[in-house]
Amino acid sequence: MKKIIALTIIGCCMLLRVVAQGDLLDEINKEDSAKPQRNFTTATFKATRIINMQSVELTGAGNLQFMITHHFGLLWNKDAGAQNLVQMFGLNAGIAKTYLALDYSFNRWFNVGLAAAGTSNFEGWMRFKLLRQQTGTYNIPVTVDWISTANVNSSKTATLVGEPVWNRYSFMHQLLIARKFSDKFSPVHAYIGAQ
Amino acid sequence: MKKLLIFATGLLLMAISFQVQGQTYKTRDGYVYFNPNKDQDHKDYAAATKEGTGVLRVETAEVAFLVQMKTFHFNNALLEEHFNENYLHSDKYPNATYKGKLIGFTKDMLTKDGVYNLTSEGQVTMHGVTKDFKSPVKLTVSGKTATFECEFKIKAEDYKIDIPGIVKPKLADFTPLKANIKFQLN
């Protein structure tokens, strides 16, 4: 009986030893996940713009981005009929606007931009990254950006001539909330206020 | 009394078995640097991490090392994004790991200052691919620190890392890496 108990204890000890040895990879995974973690979600969008709207991405800190965007004519002008085909669905409609933009990020959360917005319009913006989607120490499910844009219309159109100068300005404030669900799906919700 | 004796023996055996398990050293600030440029004087594609996790089992001369891919930082934010999104797919394969043995290592080396030349042999897992690995390692023991230094080369194709044709001519076929893993002894 005593022998059995003794053997059981020895057996337990050996078992313990085996358990204690374990796999080194498990041990290192455990050690690594014990570190304070801040897993930031990266590349919610691949660019700073989604078609002609802002995305929640900023250029990298210290990076200057020059971007050329074209706004073409109507995909289908109902008065033009078959002419739409030769105009290649608005591409050659003769009313393309060219938007030239420069934007620069001072750091991870502050970005400024200047743009020639076409037809004598110029604009500038400031963008703040308020929240970054992340897991770990802090669990934040969304990325939130605040963007304020000021636009000035410098054209000599009849409606503006003689008007007070402040009527040439327009302002837009946007609060963008985005979440990267997977590497193929990131929706963004925008609250836009303009005047 | 006899029961007590058995119990005491049991405890002793447990203690011994833990003794055999031996000393384990850990570090959380392992350094890894790589420069994939064909011309090593150019460092525009180079990246480094200072957040590798390492474990060293003295008794069995086993080592393991883990690096989170997203802890590699490049000079250019766009390069870093491409590295994680398009090359290493860091969301799917967040870590690179190494598990292996230190050949020629004895625990006495940690108690005496000096420089020792060893070899490490094991497996590297990265981007979902596991490959055998063997490389010389330099161990420098100085007081209460043991530093393992290792320089080696890997081939991106071996780990199924696709490099677009437009970038390829600028990169070396074999990417040189440097690792510097420091353990605090006690």
Domain that holds residue B32: 23-184
Residue A57: what pLDDT? 93
Nearest to A67 by CA among A88, A49, A91: A49
| Domain annotation covers residue B55 | yes
Test mutation, B91, B92, B183, chain A, max A CBs within 10 A: B91
ipTM above threshold 0.85? no
pLDDT digits (tens, 9 = 90+) for B91-134: 999 999 999 999 999 989 999 999 999 999 999 999 999 999 99
pLDDT digits (tens, 9 = 90+) for A36-58: 888 899 889 989 998 888 999 99
User: What is the C-alpha to C-alpha distance for residues B88 and A30, in angstroms, rounded to an integer?
Assistant: 22
Residue B132: what pLDDT? 95
Torsion angles phi and psi, residue A114, rounded to 5? -135, 140
Contact A13 B13 (CB under 8 A): yes
pLDDT digits (tens, 9 = 90+) for A131-156: 999 998 999 999 999 999 999 998 88
Query: Can you list the residues of chain A whose pLDDT is less than 70?
Result: 1-22
| Domain annotation covers residue B145 | yes
| Domain annotation covers residue B2 | no
CATH of the domain at B156: 2.40.128.110
User: What is the pLDDT averaged over residues B41-57?
Assistant: 93
Contact A39 B99 (CB under 8 A): no
Domain count, chain B: 1
- Measure CB to CB from residue B77 to each of A9, A32, A63 and give the nearest one: A63
| Domain annotation covers residue B13 | no
CB atoms within 10 A of CB A167: 11
Q: What is residue B69's DSSP assignment?
A: G
| Domain annotation covers residue B84 | yes
Q: Which two tokens stand for residue B151?
A: 């320089």
Q: Strand A143-153 to strand A49-50: parallel, antiparallel, or no bridges (unpaired)?
A: unpaired
User: Nearest-CA distance from B50 to chain A in Å?
Assistant: 13
Residue A170: what pLDDT? 93
| Domain annotation covers residue B96 | yes
Contact A28 B28 (CB under 8 A): no
Residue A189: what pLDDT? 92
| Domain annotation covers residue B4 | no
